[in-house]
Amino acid sequence: MKIAIGLMGAVILATSQASAAVEHPEFSFRVSADGVAGGGAAHNFGTVQQTGANEWLFSGAYSASPGTVLSWIYLVDTDPFVTGTFTLTNETSTAREYVVDFSLPIAPALKASLLSGQLAGTLTDANGSGSALLTSVGGGFIYSALADDVVVQGLMANATQQVTVTNGTSSFSGGSFGFPTPVAGPAINLTIGIRFAFSLSAGDSVSFSSVFVANPVPGPASLMVAAIFGGVRRRRRQC
């Protein structure tokens, strides 16, 4: 009888979990190589796993002819943030200019926002030529934080990174914004995302690890509760 009850409990639990399952967001990517673009919904090019109430882990890979190979792993939250790593390899015999976008629908919309973000990377001489070169395009940002497809913050403007050792690597910090204090941002209605724009030498690869977080600005009621709570904590410490 105990076994039967245990099995029934497991069935009920599994059924309730299935009924409570939430459809993953349409996290998407787009990669352009010298103006030729491709991409799509990330789940169509890999796997997706729910890791929290609004959190999802996407991993996958994409190849485009000629010679662009992209792989990624990103944790996203529709409430919202985007963080993860991607690696791009230029398998052609010439340097190419790339634009890589990752985009996430958000819910709910934010009437005003507080923003923070960070970037780091690794450049690799993947073809053993003895050199690798990464530069920003036209002096612009390598990393751009997007809100409703509009650039709201940027990192690594007018940047250059290089490797001068055969099969060598060079790790770099791309800087940050909004740490430790988030910076004021706009209303965000539909999406957040990150855009990477760079030129990469022939036969080489680059990996970027990044984060972009958009938090709602607390309303007057939230600020009042926080002030009251803070006052209570101060009085307790004085007692």
Question: pTM for the full model?
Answer: 0.84
Please count the structural domains in the chain: 1
Q: What is the pLDDT of residue 8?
A: 33
Whether 2 shows a pLDDT value over 80: the answer reads no
Phi-psi label, residue 174: left if phi above 0, alpha if psi -120 to 50, beta otherwise: alpha
Q: Are 209 and 196 in contact (CB under 8 A)?
A: no
Q: What one-character DSSP code corresponds to residue 220?
A: H
pLDDT of 17: 42
- Nearest residue to 178 (alpha-carbon basis) of 229, 143, 131, 225: 143
Q: What's the token pair of residue 125?
A: 């001489």
Do the beta carbons of residue 104 and residue 188 sit within 8 Å? no
- State pLDDT tens for residues 136-193: 999 999 999 999 999 999 999 999 999 999 999 999 999 999 999 999 999 999 999 9
Residue 86 pLDDT grade (very low, low, confident, very high; cuts 50, 70, 90): very high
CA dist., res. 82 & res. 192, Å (int) = 8
Which residues constitute the domain of residue 159?
A: 2-238
- Each residue of 3-59: pLDDT tens digit? 333 433 433 333 334 335 579 999 999 999 999 999 999 999 999 999 999 999 999
Structure tokens at 92: 């052609």
Residue 183 confidence (pLDDT): 98
* Tens digit of each residue's pLDDT (9 = 90 or more) over 104-148: 999 999 999 999 999 999 999 999 999 999 999 999 999 999 999
